[in-house]
Amino acid sequence: MKNNLPIIALDFASGEETLTFLDLFEKERLFVKTGMELFYQEGPAIIHQLKERNCDIFLDLKLHDIPTTVNKAMKRLAGLGVDLVNVHAAGGARMMRAALEGLEEGTPAGRKRPSLIAVTQPVSTSEQVAKEELLLHKPLLETVVHYGKMAEECGLDGVVCSVHETKAIYEAVRPSFLTVTPGIRTASDAADDQVRTATPSFAKENGSSAIVVGRSITKAENPVEAYEAIKLEWEGVRR
């Protein structure tokens, strides 16, 4: 990943809404995340518009399908010029390797391959949901650490995980492996539907490589102020 800025989750319903939001930040360089809602609405056009604004881009589509399909999809995504993409680790080792190969093959000559990370468990998944709905009888943390190790063995660059899992993951993987952590809230915010939230400084103290922040910024009364405060808190602990 090119920089260490907090990644803003652009969970908006349209490109117009997204660009109006980004206008608030004037010429500031941002690292943004486009998820399913926005990408399915606007398609690759939104990626081109974000690149025109000089944004670094995490395209968060969480691919999970048979290896061949994921391989071909990744070839297409590699051509968009985004910086970071992801798959579900639950798709298994063959699927993760196929994803990486697709990205490598699809990256135009002379460009850097987008980093590839694996989602361990959505941060909205609780221990109870894991056991009762997904029938994952191992403790959630054990599953997440196993997924992290598997992703590393498959050559991936990192994982998406909860800040509460980063320390345990780093006991099992190399230090340069990325841990990208959503579920971030400032101390005064509501948790919304996220179950295992934490503050930016907690994320930094626990070794997170990057934080993803959505509603704490996008729904704030003053999004720019909220972003700058989160950025300071995220950077502050490092100094």
Among 88, 196, 204, 215, binds ligand C5P (CB under 6 A): 215
- Let me know: does 12 contact 18? Beta carbons within 8 Å: yes
Q: Minimal distance in Å, beta carbon 76 to ligand C5P?
A: 21
User: In this structure, are residues 141 and 173 in contact, taking their beta carbons and an 8 Å threshold?
Assistant: no
Residue ranges of the binding site for substrate: 11, 33, 60-69, 185, 194, 214-215
- Residue 92: CB minimum distance to ligand C5P, A: 17
Q: Is 230 in the site for ligand C5P (CB under 6 A)?
A: no
Which of 219-223's residues contact partners 24+ apart within 8 Å by CB, and which partners?
A: 223/21, 223/24
Cα–Cα distance between 35 and 60 in angstroms, integer? Answer: 5
Residue 42 CB contacts under 8 Å (≥ 6 apart), including other chains: 14, 15
- Does residue 60 have an active-site annotation? yes
**Residues 138-177: x where in contact with ligand C5P by CB under 6 A, - otherwise, as a string:** ----------------------x-----------------
Give the gyration radius of the chain's Cα atoms: 17
Please give the residue whose beta carbon sits closest to ligand C5P in the complex.
214
Could you give the string, one character per residue 55-84, with x where binding to ligand C5P holds by CB under 6 A and - elsewhere? -----x------------------------
How far does Cα 90 stand from its chain's mean position? 16
* Contacting range for ligand C5P; rule: CB under 6 A; set: 97-105, 127-135, 140-148, 212-220: 212-220
